[in-house]
């Protein structure tokens, strides 16, 4: 099946810093999502971005499907940005849904 | 509109018992998928249902099963519980066709 690798696994930054999280995937995909997992475990949707670039406030994401990677940018980090960030792609083709996740990037923003 | 709703939020079961978890999708969504999250294995795909049919299945033993009803609500069942089944179970719903998936708050299962 498709492999998803996220880097770095852990990231500690000071409030106000910028960060870039990377997601590499081993095969072509027609769906890619970024999530932020809150302390209670819920996955919060950040971006649905099979290709191209999107921005939402201080967050933006870029997917280069032909090179099989996606980047999540966080600017002017706040302590509330802390948590685990996951990228996910389709588990398999054939028309059925379901996602394969990377192991996540654990981000800690220190005041 | 209402999001994805999972019940119950927390469960404690004994080894050997069985458990049923419920997931109500966003209105109009026909695809429901289930995931297990553990510290060791991360987030793993269990199975996906669309219009009452299981279309996709992850690499889990037959003790894990599910079903979907005509109103798109889905249930997941785990029989003969093992300690290693302790995990956060998440479900997601979407329109299908690789569209955006939205997750519920999860059910945290503890097996003792």
Q: Render pLDDT for B11-25 as a digit per residue (tens, 0 to 9).
A: 999 999 999 999 999
pLDDT at A94 (0 to 100): 62
Sort out which chain B residues have CB atoms less than 8 A from A42's CB and list them. Answer: 103-106
DSSP 8-state symbol, B26: P
Mean pLDDT of B90-111: 96
Determine which of A26-40, A93-107, B20-34, B97-111 has the lowest per-residue pLDDT on average: A93-107
Note the pLDDT tens digit of each residue in A11-52.
999 999 999 999 999 998 888 999 999 888 999 999 999 999
Is A14 or A1 the better-scoring residue by pLDDT?
A14
Work out the mean pLDDT of chain A and round it to a whole number: 94
What confidence score (pLDDT) does residue A30 get?
Answer: 85
A24: distance to nearest CA of chain B, Å?
A: 17
By three-state DSSP, how is residue A53 classified? Answer: strand
- When pLDDT is cut at 50, 70 and 90, the band that residue A96 belongs to is confident
On the 0-12 / 13-18 / 19+ scale of CB atoms within 10 A, A17 is: middle
Give the SS3 label for residue B62. coil
pLDDT given at position A91: 86
Q: What is the mean pLDDT of residues B51-70?
A: 95
Residue B40 and residue B25 in contact, taking contact as beta carbons nearer than 8 Å: no
| H-run or E-run covering B53 | strand B53-57
Q: Which of A97, A105, A106 to mutate to test the interface with B (most CBs of B within 10 A)?
A: A97
How many A/B residue pairs have CB atoms within 8 Å? 73
Place of tokens 């971005």: A49
**CA dihedral of residues B58, A1, B56, B18 (deg, nearest 10):** 0
User: How far is it, in rounded angstroms, from Cα B58 to Cα B48?
Assistant: 9
pLDDT at A40: 87
CB B34 within 8 A of CB B77: no
B93 contact partners, CB below 8 Å, separation of at least 6: B4, B23, B25, B26, B29, B31, B32, B33, B72, B101, B102
What mean pLDDT is predicted for residues B22-48? 96
């Amino acid at each position: 099946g498709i492999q998803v690798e996220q880097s770095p696994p852990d990231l500690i930054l000071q409030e106000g810093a910028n960060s870039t999280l990377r997601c590499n995937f081993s095969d072509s995909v027609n769906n890619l999502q970024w999530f932020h997992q809150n302390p209670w475990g819920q996955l919060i949707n950040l971006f649905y971005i099979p290709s191209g670039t999107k921005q939402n406030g201080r967050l933006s994401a870029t997917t280069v499907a032909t090179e099989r990677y996606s980047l999540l940018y966080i600017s002017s980090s706040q302590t509330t940005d802390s948590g685990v960030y996951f990228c996910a792609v389709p588990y398999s083709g054939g028309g059925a849904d379901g996602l394969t996740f990377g192991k996540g990037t654990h981000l800690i923003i220190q005041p | 509109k209402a999001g994805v709703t999972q019940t119950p939020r927390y469960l404690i079961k004994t080894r050997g018992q069985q458990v049923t978890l419920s997931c109500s999708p966003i209105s109009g969504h026909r695809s429901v998928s289930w995931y297990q999250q553990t510290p060791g294995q991360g987030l793993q795909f269990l199975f996906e249902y669309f219009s009452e049919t299981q279309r996709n299945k992850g690499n889990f033993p037959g003790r894990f099963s599910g079903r979907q009803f005509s109103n798109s609500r889905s249930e997941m069942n785990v029989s003969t519980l093992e300690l290693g089944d302790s995990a956060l179970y998440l479900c997601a719903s979407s329109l299908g066709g690789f569209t955006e998936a939205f997750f519920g708050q999860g059910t945290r299962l503890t097996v003792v």
